Structure 1
Amino acid sequence: MKHQPLFDKIPNFSTFLELLKKHFFTVPFLVIFNTLALLILGGLSLYAKLNNQGDGVERLFSDPFNFWFPYEGLFTGISEVLWCIPVAICAFTFGLLRQKDPRSRSAIFFFFSALLLGVFFLDDRFRMTLILSQLGISKKLIYLCYGSGVFLYGIKFWRYIKTTPYLPLIAAFLLFAISRFEDIIDTRSLGAHAMLEDGTKLLALLNLAMYFWHVCYQAIWRHLQQTEKPFDS
């Protein structure tokens, strides 16, 4: 009897591999990001094993949970979810619109919106401003750079923004400004500090998420209508 490889004895194993390969290579960057993530996690595991640093790796995945105060960080978690919404839908809308015309005004607007909001999200989530301030860079200088970025964004896309219900967007940036100024001012009351810094940020993110949800929905709807027109005629 001829010897058969182990994998050949498993029914439909080759078919499963072909299906797996097809799905992974169909989605752009899926293989790259999975490979990169595996290399990083593998490198961390190897480092922890060789240097007996398992507790350090565990801290990277630990949840900030307080049994006695389960509501601790509730609004912070909600803010992080709200941060992700406009970044994700702007990136998705840009990816959809660029298939028809990569240089269209709408596609460019959503690209830079995702880029700007993504930078703000990374700064807020990973405390980049705080880290840079500890390295000796003034917070006022950092906020000036962010304010300049918002100003240039507004100048560049004001004509497009005027065609949308833009009041929530303006309100969001004003609330962000109040939140950042409160971070500079030393407030004695912890409750007042939390409301002026984190409360205003939560309201800003709510308005930001609702604005881009509506604007992206309208842009995708127009894109689908224009795509269907040749088939209707």
Structure 2
Amino acid sequence: MTTIGILGAGQAGATLARSAIEAGYSVLIANSRSPQTIADLARSLGPRARATWAADAAAAADFAVLAFPYVPGHALPAEELAGKVVLDNNNYMPWRDGTFSAVDAGTRTVHELRQEQLPAAKLAKALSHIQFHGRDQVRIPGDEAPALVRLARPAGAPDRSALVVSSNYPEAVELVRGFYDRLGFDTVDNSPLNESWRSTPGTPMWQASFDGQSREELIRNLQRAERTRPSSSRSPAG
């Protein structure tokens, strides 16, 4: 059984852990504190989940997910993640994170900066435009469920949504493709990592992400993106 190390136990990490377990994975989940602080969460996830220290989760995982914002100078378990595929679901949100001059200047994406923090890992931007919460305004039954759950469909379903992956490593893209499929989504490859700005908050694909978009729609929306200075205002929650 494939083991995922989920570093970050907030809403995104906890929601992803539940979906991954339902898809047949086992999960090691960690936060920036101690395993005891998320013991209740781990128990609620069932027998295929265990709370642990971040470095231990990174070391034991077959691949890992970073479910927390990028912070310059942040000490990550780089040695434990060396050689592994690492999914980064972060988005650059200046209203939340402050501004990063390289990202604002267009010389780096926030995911390239994260890759520099983990030079020996195989980073992929993934799961960055699927919401881990329900819609703010419930229109129909089911809207209260996280979009990761609400939009999931079996392979071949006519209304199956697609998600983006960007990476400098083809093997990371293929791992994410298989992961997405088991979670219930098709894949659009928007590599390399320096193209990941096309799936950032405010872009056409981002605006269409709350109710899902087909693979063809997602490709068109990525192509429509124009690189502009990121907004300092809060992004819509969907």
Q: Could you say which TM-score interval applies, normalised by the shorter chain?
A: under 0.3
Q: TM-score, normalised by structure 1?
A: 0.26
**Bigger Rg, structure 1 or 2:** 1
Greater fraction helix: 1
Greater fraction strand: 2
Q: TM-score, normalised by structure 2?
A: 0.26
